[in-house]
Chains A and B, each alone.
Chain A
Amino acid sequence: MSHLLEVNDLEVKFGLRQGDLTAINGISFNLDKGERMGLVGESGAGKSVTGFAIINLISKPGFISGGRVIFNGQDLAALSEEAMREIRGNHISMIFQDPMMTLNPVLTIGTQMVETLQAHRRITRPEAEAIALEKLKKVQIPSPEKRLAQYPHEFSGGMRQRIVIAIALITDPEIIIADEPTTALDVTIQAEIMDLLQQLCESEDTGLILITHDLGVVSQVTEKIAVMYAGKIVESGLTDRVVNNPKHPYTQGLIKALPGSLQPGARLNQIPGMMPTLTDIPPGCAFNPRCPLCETICRNQEPPFIPVDHLTRMVACHMVKPDPSMGTR
Chain B
Amino acid sequence: MKRTWRRFKASYLLFSFKQDKTAIFSLAVLLVLLVTGLLAPVFSPYDPYDPANIDIMNSELPPSWTENGEAAFLLGTDIQGRDLLSTMIYGLRLSILIGCGAVILQGCLGVVVGLLAGYLGGKIDAVLMRIADIQLSFPYLMVAIFISAIFQLAFGIGRYEDLAVPLLIVIIGLAEWPVYARTVRAAVMGEKNKEYVEAARVIGLNRWRIMFRHVLPNTMTSVLVISTIQVANAVMSEAALSFLGLGMPVTKPSLGSLIRSGFEYIFSGSWWITLFPGIFLVLLVLVINLLGDWLRDVLNPKLYKG
Pairwise interchain contact A149-B3, C-beta atoms closer than 8 A: yes
Least distance between B290 CB and chain A CB atoms (Å): 27
Task: Note all chain A residues with C-beta closer than 8 A to B217.
Answer: 104, 106-107
Least distance between A289 CB and chain B CB atoms (Å): 34
Cross-chain contact of B199 among A96, A149, A151, A153 (Cβ < 8 A):
A96
Pairwise interchain contact A115-B205, C-beta atoms closer than 8 A: yes
Check: A123 CB closer than 8 A to any chain B CB: no
Pairwise interchain contact B194-A119, C-beta atoms closer than 8 A: no
Pairwise interchain contact B214-A55, C-beta atoms closer than 8 A: no
Given known A-B contacts A105-B218, A106-B217, A151-B306, A96 and B198 have beta carbons under 8 A apart: yes
Given known A-B contacts A101-B194, A104-B214, A94 and B306 have beta carbons under 8 A apart: no
B202 nearest in chain A by CB position: A94
Q: CA–CA, A151 to B220, complex, Å? A: 17
Task: Note all chain B residues with C-beta closer than 8 A to A96.
Answer: 195, 198-199
Interface size on B, residues (CB 8 A): 20
Task: Note all chain B residues with C-beta closer than 8 A to A87.
Answer: 204
A151 nearest in chain B by CB position: B306
Task: Note all chain A residues with C-beta closer than 8 A to B203.
Answer: 88-89, 93, 115-116, 119, 167
Q: CA–CA, A116 to B204, complex, Å? A: 8
Q: CA–CA, A164 to B198, complex, Å? A: 13
Task: Note all chain A residues with C-beta closer than 8 A to B206.
Answer: 85, 119
Task: Note all chain B residues with C-beta closer than 8 A to A85.
Answer: 204-206
Least distance between A315 CB and chain B CB atoms (Å): 32
Given known A-B contacts A107-B214, A151-B306, A102 and B196 have beta carbons under 8 A apart: yes
Least distance between A86 CB and chain B CB atoms (Å): 7
Check: A256 CB closer than 8 A to any chain B CB: no
Task: Note all chain B residues with C-beta closer than 8 A to A107.
Answer: 213-214, 217
Q: CA–CA, A115 to B203, complex, Å? A: 9
Check: B282 CB closer than 8 A to any chain A CB: no
Least distance between A48 CB and chain B CB atoms (Å): 11
Considering the complex, which residues of chain B in the window 163-212 have a beta carbon less than 8 Å from any beta carbon of chain A? 194-196, 198-206, 209
Least distance between A45 CB and chain B CB atoms (Å): 20
Task: Note all chain A residues with C-beta closer than 8 A to B306.
Answer: 105, 151-153
A90 nearest in chain B by CB position: B204
Check: A57 CB closer than 8 A to any chain B CB: yes
Pairwise interchain contact A119-B209, C-beta atoms closer than 8 A: yes
Q: CA–CA, A86 to B203, complex, Å? A: 9
Least distance between B257 CB and chain A CB atoms (Å): 42
Check: A32 CB closer than 8 A to any chain B CB: no
B3 nearest in chain A by CB position: A149
Task: Note all chain B residues with C-beta closer than 8 A to A104.
Answer: 196, 200, 214, 217-218
Least distance between A120 CB and chain B CB atoms (Å): 6
Pairwise interchain contact B214-A93, C-beta atoms closer than 8 A: no
Task: Note all chain A residues with C-beta closer than 8 A to B204.
Answer: 85-90, 116, 119-120
B201 nearest in chain A by CB position: A57
Check: A223 CB closer than 8 A to any chain B CB: no
Check: A103 CB closer than 8 A to any chain B CB: yes
Check: A75 CB closer than 8 A to any chain B CB: no
Highest count of chain A CB atoms <10 Å: which of B195, B199, B217? B199
Task: Note all chain B residues with C-beta closer than 8 A to A149.
Answer: 3
Check: A214 CB closer than 8 A to any chain B CB: no
B210 nearest in chain A by CB position: A104
Task: Note all chain A residues with C-beta closer than 8 A to B213.
Answer: 107, 115
Q: CA–CA, A314 to B200, complex, Å? A: 36
Q: CA–CA, A86 to B206, complex, Å? A: 10
Q: CA–CA, A88 to B200, complex, Å? A: 10
Check: A98 CB closer than 8 A to any chain B CB: yes
Considering the complex, which residues of chain B in the window 265-306 have a beta carbon less than 8 Å from any beta carbon of chain A? 306
Least distance between B12 CB and chain A CB atoms (Å): 12
Q: CA–CA, A24 to B220, complex, Å? A: 39
Highest count of chain A CB atoms <10 Å: which of B203, B205, B206, B306? B203
Least distance between A94 CB and chain B CB atoms (Å): 4
Task: Note all chain B residues with C-beta closer than 8 A to A164.
Answer: 199
Chain A 99-142: CB-based contact to B (< 8 A → 1; otherwise 0): 00111111100000001100110000000000000000000000
* CB pairs A–B below 8 angstroms (28 shown): A55-B202, A85-B205, A85-B206, A87-B204, A89-B202, A89-B205, A90-B204, A94-B202, A96-B195, A96-B199, A98-B195, A101-B194, A102-B196, A102-B199, A103-B196, A104-B196, A104-B214, A105-B218, A106-B217, A107-B214, A115-B213, A116-B204, A119-B203, A119-B204, A149-B3, A153-B306, A164-B199, A167-B203
Which B residues have a C-beta under 8 Å from some C-beta of A?
Answer: 3, 194-196, 198-206, 209, 213-214, 217-218, 220, 306
